[in-house]
Amino acid sequence: MMSVALDNGLSVTALHNHFFFDEPKVYFMHISGNGDSAKLATAVRKVWDKMKEIRAANPKPATTFGGAAMPMTNSISGKVIDDILGAKDRRTTGCSKWSSAHDEDAVRLRHARTWGEHWAAFAGTDDTRWWTGTLR
């Protein structure tokens, strides 16, 4: 779907998931474009047609990308990521989250006046990690 979007003049502005443990896995692809309405609509239609083709060939969603399944308990030590990102992680259920905001007041202020909080969440082990995040 991404190749079809790019091949037809659209931009892919994001590809992400919201949750580590959702079943089936759900990923969101954001697209953007400008120009002639008919050309844009045709490009979007080609993306939708590719989606239908993929779903027809694979009616049952895959549960993995072929690698090991994510462990239900997060055991990332976090020190290496802390040092690289320059921030301390906040542990939540099943993952560790790093944020550009240092406290909840900063998060609220940023959402109110700019693009919002930048964050990354990792789950898994020190050997095998999964990542999701928002960089706005």
Q: How far is CA 125 from CA 4, 78, 121, in A?
A: 35, 10, 13
Side chain identity at residue 95, one-letter code: C
Per-residue pLDDT of 6-34, as tens digits, reads: 999 999 988 887 776 777 778 889 999 99
- The whole-angstrom separation of Cα 94 and Cα 125 is 11
How far is 31 from 44, CA to CA, in rounded Å?
Answer: 9
Which residue would you say has higher pLDDT here, 86 or 3? 3
Q: Is this model's pTM higher than 0.85 or not? A: no
Q: Which residue's structure tokens are 């964050």? A: 119
Buried b (16+ CB within 10 A) or exposed e, 20-55: beeeeeeeeeebebeeeeeebeebbebbeeeeeeee
pLDDT greater at residue 45 or residue 71: 45
Write phi, then psi, for 27 (nearest 5 degrees): -120, 145
Residues 54-91: pLDDT tens digits? 999 988 877 766 776 667 777 777 777 788 777 777 76
Instruction: With a cut of 90, say whether residue 49 has pLDDT above it.
Output: yes
Alpha-helix residue ranges (DSSP H) falling in 10-78: 37-57
Q: Does residue 3 surpass a pLDDT of 90?
A: yes
Maximum separation of any 2 CA atoms in the chain, in Å: 51
